[in-house]
Amino acid sequence: MERQNVLVQPEELEHQRTFEEKIKAMFESRQAHPRACVDTFGCQQNVADGQKLMGMLVSCGFTLTSEPAEADLVILNTCAVREHAEDRVFGNLGALTHTKKENPEQIICLCGCMAQEPRVSERVKKSYPLVNLVFGPHALWKFPELLWQVYESRKRVFSVQDEHGTIAEGIPVVREKGVKAWVSIMYGCNNFCSYCIVPYVRGRERSRDPQAVLAEVRELVEAGYKDITLLGQNVNSYGNDLDIGYHFPDLLADIDKIPGDYWIRFMSSHPKDATKRLFDVMAGSRHVARQLHLPVQSGNDRVLREMNRRYTRQQYLDLVNYAKRVMPGLVLTSDIIIGFPGETEAEAMDTVSLVEEVGFDALFTFIYSPRPGTKAAQMPDPATRAEKQQWFDKLLEVQNAMSAKLHAAYVGKTVRVLVDGDSDDPDFPLSSRTEGNRLVRLKGGPELLGKFIDVEITGSNTWALYGQPV
């Protein structure tokens, strides 16, 4: 891939700022105080994109609200990874029909992965005339220009061309207040797992310049963020497209040299590209959390092959065993799909047995959802939904018991946590995270927010630990 073509040139980005100024001036001349609501679905990558949209909206003169009904502009920042996420977006569009009746001037935008699917943008074009602007992830950086077109032309704007995908540096960002921040280090995916829509909507892998990533992390640490997550569909192939002999472990090692009191996490990792060197760098670092999210998807070799995952059950086990050996106490989580087309009960139970064998701290579990346009969506899928649900329930039962057991082993121990927010439990009003990202509900007052402290774990269940400061 030609790197020159991948980077959005600084002049083009500067040009976008002029559209922000135009929109702002338009509102000022009307003495309007417009409000915008960004509703983000799906993964952390989308959350990070949502923060960029908010940054651009603020530069356009909007204040932000979480209430679509009171907003002059609503953005649905969508996810396409499973059908359920898509259904929710169409449900929300239905609800917005009512708010738009109340406020006909309201601008409605649809963006994110769903917007990049031709099937979806066609449906929106035909059946949802209330939507003013549709743009895919490739066009995110030119949102100010697209929005200006909407205001100026009063026509519907669709920017959903199937492009290669770009990298745009320096888009303004509105971050969550507090201690956590997300940093995209790369975009896109080259893996084409047969069930997955992501490579079709987010384009090919492209890595940000290491110096740009390092500068952003340094800024975040200096601004007081303490829990920073590096994002990419597959961070383990970071750098492959840069051709400078610089890879993900190199980036981690360089970030680790940034002085300060903070944790670095990353997600997601593809097992086929996770190396022993990565685990060695993690083990030798001061700031990289001893936590690994390593999606396995299935514990059966035939299913893994059909999924195009390019590793075997044994290779996965060898990898996690090595990681656990060099990082005692490593907290391990994973993604699992049950009911891939053609999966039998015995094959699903291979996944359950792998889960038992590894002893994950927690799992993100999904029932397979066909995504039109992917290879798996064309495979015969004879198992019924009820059968899949049974296998899924079995998996949950095994995992919940494992999580409860691993959590119970913390009771009586003292662990270091980062206090990151409020909890909804009045007896334990604070929420905090261990280095392994386990949730600890905590006794204590708001003065502890944003601090690393030692806590004694006094209780546990499947989902959380409970504790008090020592």
Please report, as ranges, the residues that interact with ligand 5AD according to CB under 6 A. 81-82, 195-196, 295, 297, 335, 337, 366, 368-369, 371
Give the one entry of ligand 5AD, ligand SF4, none that residue 234 binds, where binding means its C-beta sits below a cut-off of 5 to 8 angstroms depending on kind. Answer: ligand SF4
Closest distance between ligand 5AD and the C-beta of residue 196, in Å? 4
Indicate the burial class of 79 (C-beta count within 10 angstroms; 0-12, 13-18, 19 or more).
buried
Cα 336–Cα 253–Cα 221 angle in degrees, nearest 5 = 90
Closest distance between ligand SF4 and the C-beta of residue 368, in Å? 12
Closest distance between ligand SF4 and the C-beta of residue 195, in Å? 7
Query: Quick one: 20 or 49, whose CB is closer to ligand SF4?
Result: 49
Q: Could you say which of 85, 115, 186, 193 contacts ligand SF4 (CB under 6 A)?
A: 193
For residue 403, report the phi and psi dihedrals to the nearest 5 degrees: -60, -45
Distance, CA of 394 to CA of 400 (rounded, Å): 10
At 346, list the tokens.
Answer: 């015995």
Residue 418 near residue 455, CB atoms below 8 Å: no
Cα 141–Cα 237–Cα 7 angle in degrees, nearest 5 = 30
Closest distance between ligand SF4 and the C-beta of residue 266, in Å? 14
Distance, CA of 179 to CA of 421 (rounded, Å): 9
Give the one entry of ligand SF4, ligand 5AD, none that residue 65 binds, where binding means its C-beta sits below a cut-off of 5 to 8 angstroms depending on kind. Answer: none
- Can residue 111 be called a binding residue for ligand SF4 (CB under 6 A)? no
Residue 55 near residue 47, CB atoms below 8 Å: no
Give the one entry of ligand 5AD, ligand SF4, none that residue 232 binds, where binding means its C-beta sits below a cut-off of 5 to 8 angstroms depending on kind. Answer: none
Distance, CA of 352 to CA of 239 (rounded, Å): 34
Distance, CA of 182 to CA of 74 (rounded, Å): 23
Strand order in the sheet with 227-231: 180-184, 227-231, 263-267
Closest distance between ligand 5AD and the C-beta of residue 256, in Å? 26
Query: Quick one: 40 or 233, whose CB is closer to ligand SF4?
Result: 233
Closest distance between ligand SF4 and the C-beta of residue 196, in Å? 3
Q: Could you say which of 46, 59, 166, 191 contacts ligand SF4 (CB under 6 A)?
A: 191
Cα distance between the two ends of the chain: 54
- Tally of residues, the chain: 470
In single-letter form, the type of residue at position 164 comes to H
Residue 113 near residue 86, CB atoms below 8 Å: no
Query: Quick one: 86 or 435, whose CB is closer to ligand 5AD?
Result: 86
Closest distance between ligand 5AD and the C-beta of residue 233, in Å? 9
Distance, CA of 364 to CA of 297 (rounded, Å): 10
Query: Quick one: 384 or 468, whose CB is closer to ligand 5AD?
Result: 384
Site string for ligand SF4, 250-279 (x = CB under 6 A): --------------------x---------
Q: Report the 10 Å Cβ neighbour count for 416.
A: 12
Q: Which segment (85-93, 189-197, 311-319, 339-347) binds ligand SF4 by CB under 6 A?
A: 189-197
- Can residue 206 be called a binding residue for ligand SF4 (CB under 6 A)? no
Closest distance between ligand SF4 and the C-beta of residue 268, in Å? 6
Determine the residue with CB nearest ligand 5AD.
335
- Can residue 199 be called a binding residue for ligand SF4 (CB under 6 A)? yes
Give the one entry of ligand SF4, ligand 5AD, none that residue 337 binds, where binding means its C-beta sits below a cut-off of 5 to 8 angstroms depending on kind. Answer: ligand 5AD
Give the one entry of ligand 5AD, ligand SF4, none that residue 192 binds, where binding means its C-beta sits below a cut-off of 5 to 8 angstroms depending on kind. Answer: ligand SF4
Site string for ligand SF4, 208-247 (x = CB under 6 A): -------------------------xx-------------
Query: Quick one: 72 or 86, whose CB is closer to ligand 5AD?
Result: 86
Closest distance between ligand 5AD and the C-beta of residue 202, in Å? 12
In single-letter form, the type of residue at position 282 comes to M
Closest distance between ligand 5AD and the C-beta of residue 338, in Å? 9
Give the one entry of ligand 5AD, ligand SF4, none that residue 371 binds, where binding means its C-beta sits below a cut-off of 5 to 8 angstroms depending on kind. Answer: ligand 5AD
Helix H or strand E encompassing 4: helix 3-6
Residue spans of alpha helices (H) in 172-312: 198-202, 210-222, 248-256, 276-283, 301-306
Q: Which of 340, 348, 346 is nearest to 380 (CA)?
A: 340
- Can residue 113 be called a binding residue for ligand SF4 (CB under 6 A)? no
Distance, CA of 466 to CA of 440 (rounded, Å): 5
Q: Could you say which of 147, 168, 171, 196 contacts ligand SF4 (CB under 6 A)?
A: 196
Helix (H, G, I), strand (E, B) or coil at 421: strand
**209 CB-near residues (< 8 Å, 6+ apart):** 169, 242
Closest distance between ligand SF4 and the C-beta of residue 233, in Å? 4
At 355, list the tokens.
Answer: 């889960």
Q: Which of 216, 233, 320, 338 is nearest to 278 (CA)?
A: 320
Query: Quick one: 200 or 368, whose CB is closer to ligand 5AD?
Result: 368
366 forms beta bridges with: 337
Query: Quick one: 367 or 453, whose CB is closer to ligand 5AD?
Result: 367
Q: Which of 379, 343, 384 is nearest to 194 (CA)?
A: 379
By CB under 6 A, name the binding residues for ligand SF4: 189, 191-193, 196, 198-199, 233-234, 270
